[in-house]
């Protein structure tokens, strides 16, 4: 959306932009990633609505690059292509039971589930790993691996009272699902001086009412060594995060001395890594329960020590701790150790190691440090990797569109048109819409999205929410085509 906006501003009436989006709905992680209780963050969609409504912009939703349409189809039809397909994979912990145990999920799945992401619902239903189909059972005790902002979102969504979420756009399935959660354990392989969370989001979690905070190992936050101190000196956000953790732990100690103890608990465990997830009988393949029931996972952790100089401290097994730590009867395990970009089209150059499209300031390269691929650009997480907030993508898109304009002014985009002749594409005279129609792709147009949007808002309004998202793709496609949402419902 930001790249589109920069193109419209610069070129005026001389440009049209076709947005090709895999989902039936626009706005990527702003819709399906940003937490429902962060409504002000999500309100950036008001700006995106305006960009999409522009007459020079077309929307081709439910069209995936790499399967419904190939890069070569696009290169034959457009002067320039900007890849902005985000980071659609996630990093793994690499321990037994991670892929197979019921109750163990990637944060991506959990976030998609509470955000009513249709693709996520379809995947959950299809894996059979989930005891009740497309629903995640949260149970009483959750472990979240990772100490970044996504992990904070997950922990907050698990611990927040349902009443606080009722007026958000949280998925209907997820609302109230956490009412039984008593304990969330956040686990990081390194220490408080290396944690990636931002202080504001951390404070939001730590100040949830009715939640006591415990920090482990005891004394960790106070007893940092010289290299840790340098890590803290180098980063104000980390210093603030450390202060917030120390303060929350002190508040808990004070509250524990009174009779008014909070009923829920957040444990932040530093310097721990998982070594296996298994059933209580020691089976890492974890036989899925036959009936809807709460998973029970045994989580084994090893203690870590840190080595290396400040700025590059690594977690290694702590030889002084002989016995592993075992957490029993964990009902939900979330892996939140980072997203990763994936290759979506065989003709798009890809840097597998870093999970990004290789580029120089947004110009796509044949490989890392390679030649420029004319007319092909990248923006957002697929360009830089999965870091940064929404606003970071504004500057990122500006840089990319700046490179595109610079190339255009030197006549470097027109050569793209020669590619179509080289590719001898007989259908090249056909528009993208016509190509997709002939391929039988059910495209969601701008008008289709407007119908989905209106129906979601209307259904939400009746429930006192900003919107109730459709989580079934077929249902969404029917609404996009004009079916009455209430009849569909
Ligand atoms: C859980 C979570 C919470 C976050 N919370 C916040 C927050 O509170 N505040 C904040 O500022 N930032 C937040 N962020 C970061 C923010 O969401 C990202 O910076 C931003 O969304 C990245 O934009 P993007 O366009 O690169 O990727 P995305 O937003 O992921 O958009 C990529 C789009 O490409 C589409 N796509 C994927 N593959 C294809 C394909 N093959 N063909 C066509 N289309 C495709 C996707 O469907 C998606 O719509 C959060 C991120 C996550 C993961």
Strands (E), 331-379: 332-335, 339-340, 359-360, 363-365, 372-378
Cα 58 to ligand 1 centre (Å): 20
Instruction: Give the span between the Cα atoms of 455 and 458, in whole angstroms.
Output: 5
The answer to whether 469 and 115 have CB atoms below 8 angstroms apart is yes
Instruction: Give the span between the Cα atoms of 210 and 311, in whole angstroms.
Output: 36
Ligand 1 contact via 348 beta carbon (within 6 Å): no
Q: Tokens 């702003």, residue? A: 30
pLDDT value, residue 420:
54
Q: Which of 153, 163, 149, 159 is nearest to 266 (CA)?
A: 159
Residues written for the chain: 489
Residues 6+ apart with CB under 8 A from 360: 372
The number of the ligand 1 atom at minimal distance from the alpha carbon of 396 is 26
Ligand 1 contact via 69 beta carbon (within 6 Å): no
Cα 258 to ligand 1 centre (Å): 44
Instruction: Give the span between the Cα atoms of 135 and 22, in whole angstroms.
Output: 23
| Structure token pair of residue 280 | 């209580």
Cα 334 to ligand 1 centre (Å): 19
The number of the ligand 1 atom at minimal distance from the alpha carbon of 387 is 19
pLDDT value, residue 263:
86
Which of 2, 34, 60, 171 maximizes ligand 1 atoms within 8 Å of its Cβ, making it the mutation to test the pocket?
34
- Core vs surface per residue 420-429: b (16+ CB within 10 A) or e: beeeebeeee
Residue extent(s) of CATH 3.50.50.60 domains in the chain = 92-337
Q: Which of 85, 93, 92, 108 is nearest to 377 (CA)?
A: 85
Ligand 1 contact via 89 beta carbon (within 6 Å): no
Cα 390 to ligand 1 centre (Å): 8
pLDDT value, residue 447:
97
Instruction: Give the span between the Cα atoms of 306 and 230, in whole angstroms.
Output: 14
| Structure token pair of residue 207 | 């100040």
Which of 85, 401, 443 maximizes ligand 1 atoms within 8 Å of its Cβ, making it the mutation to test the pocket?
85
Is it true that the peptide bond before 217 is cis, omega within 30 degrees of 0? yes
Q: Tokens 């209430």, residue? A: 486
The number of the ligand 1 atom at minimal distance from the alpha carbon of 380 is 26
Cα 417 to ligand 1 centre (Å): 30
Class at the top of the CATH hierarchy for domain 92-337: alpha beta
Ligand 1 contact via 45 beta carbon (within 6 Å): no
Residues 6+ apart with CB under 8 A from 39: 168, 169, 466
**Residues within the annotated binding site for NADP(+)?**
189-190, 201, 388
Instruction: Give the span between the Cα atoms of 266 and 212, in whole angstroms.
Output: 6
Ligand 1 contact via 21 beta carbon (within 6 Å): yes
Ligand 1 contact via 88 beta carbon (within 6 Å): yes
Domain 2-87+341-444 has CATH 3.40.50.410: no
Q: Where are the alpha helices (DSSP H) in 128-266?
A: 149-159, 162-165, 199-206, 226-233, 236-256
Ligand 1 contact via 22 beta carbon (within 6 Å): yes
Q: Which of 136, 128, 65, 85 is nearest to 107 (CA)?
A: 136
SS3 state at 413: coil
Cα 26 to ligand 1 centre (Å): 10
Q: How many Cβ atoms sit within 10 Å of the Cβ of residue 147?
A: 25
pLDDT value, residue 418:
52
**Residues within the annotated binding site?**
21, 29, 65, 189-190, 201, 381, 388-390
- What crossing angle do the helices spanning 118-127 and 107-114 adopt, rounded to 10°? 120
H helix count then E strand count, the chain? 19, 18
Average pLDDT of adjacent 10-residue blocks, the chain of 489 residues: 98 98 98 96 96 98 98 93 96 94 93 92 64 73 96 96 94 88 97 92 94 91 89 92 91 75 91 94 59 83 95 94 94 96 97 97 97 96 96 98 97 65 66 95 97 97 95 95 70
Q: Supply the DSSP string of 127-168, one letter for each residue.
A: H--STTSS-----SEEEEE--SHHHHHHHHHHHS-HHHHTTS
Residue extent(s) of CATH 3.40.50.720 domains in the chain = 2-87+341-444
Which of 33, 39, 47, 115 maximizes ligand 1 atoms within 8 Å of its Cβ, making it the mutation to test the pocket?
33
């Amino acid at each position: 959306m930001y790249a589109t906006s920069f193109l419209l501003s610069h070129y005026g009436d001389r440009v049209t932009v076709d947005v090709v989006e895999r989902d039936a709905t626009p706005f990527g992680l702003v819709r399906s990633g940003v937490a429902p209780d962060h409504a002000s963050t999500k309100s950036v969609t008001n700006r995106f609505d305006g960009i999409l409504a522009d007459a020079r912009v077309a929307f081709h939703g439910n069209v995936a690059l790499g399967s419904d349409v190939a890069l070569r189809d696009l290169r034959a039809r457009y002067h320039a292509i900007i890849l902005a397909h985000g980071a659609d994979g996630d990093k793994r912990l690499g321990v037994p039971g991670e892929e197979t145990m019921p109750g163990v999920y990637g944060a991506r799945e959990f976030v998609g589930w509470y955000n009513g992401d249709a693709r996520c619902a379809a995947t959950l239903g299809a894996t059979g790993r989930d005891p009740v189909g497309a629903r995640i059972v949260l149970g009483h005790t959750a472990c979240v691996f990772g100490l970044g902002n996504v992990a904070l979102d997950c922990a907050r969504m698990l611990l927040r009272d349902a009443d606080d979420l009722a007026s958000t756009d949280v998925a209907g399935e997820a609302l109230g699902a956490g009412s039984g959660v008593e304990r969330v354990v956040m686990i990081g392989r390194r220490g408080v001086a290396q944690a990636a969370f931002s202080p504001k989001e951390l404070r939001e979690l730590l100040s949830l009412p009715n939640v006591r905070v415990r920090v482990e190992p005891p004394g960790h936050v106070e007893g940092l060594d010289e290299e840790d101190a340098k890590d803290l000196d180098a980063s104000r956000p980390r210093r603030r995060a450390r202060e917030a953790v120390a303060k929350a732990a002190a508040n808990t100690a004070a509250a524990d001395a009174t009779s008014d103890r909070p009923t829920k608990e957040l444990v932040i465990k530093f310097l721990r890594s998982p070594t296996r997830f298994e059933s209580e009988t020691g089976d890492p393949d974890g036989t899925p329960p036959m009936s809807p029931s709460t998973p029970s996972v045994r989580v084994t952790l090893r203690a870590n020590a840190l080595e290396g100089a400040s700025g590059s401290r690594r977690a290694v097994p702590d030889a002084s701790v002989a016995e592993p730590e075992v957490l029993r009867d964990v009902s939900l395990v979330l892996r939140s150790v980072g997203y990763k970009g994936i290759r979506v089209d065989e003709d798009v150059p890809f840097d597998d190691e870093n999970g990004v499209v290789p580029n120089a300031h947004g110009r796509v390269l044949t490989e890392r440090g390679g030649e420029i691929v004319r007319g092909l650009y990248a923006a957002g997480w697929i360009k830089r990797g999965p870091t940064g907030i929404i606003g970071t993508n504004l500057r990122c898109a500006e840089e990319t569109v700046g490179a595109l304009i610079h190339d255009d002014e030197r006549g470097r985009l027109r050569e793209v048109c020669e590619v179509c002749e080289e590719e001898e594409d007989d259908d090249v005279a056909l528009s993208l819409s016509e190509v997709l129609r002939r391929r039988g792709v059910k495209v969601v147009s701008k008008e289709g999205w407007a119908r989905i949007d209106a129906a979601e808002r209307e259904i939400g309004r009746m429930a006192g929410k900003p919107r109730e998202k459709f989580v079934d793709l077929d249902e969404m496609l029917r609404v996009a085509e004009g079916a009455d949402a209430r009849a569909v419902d």
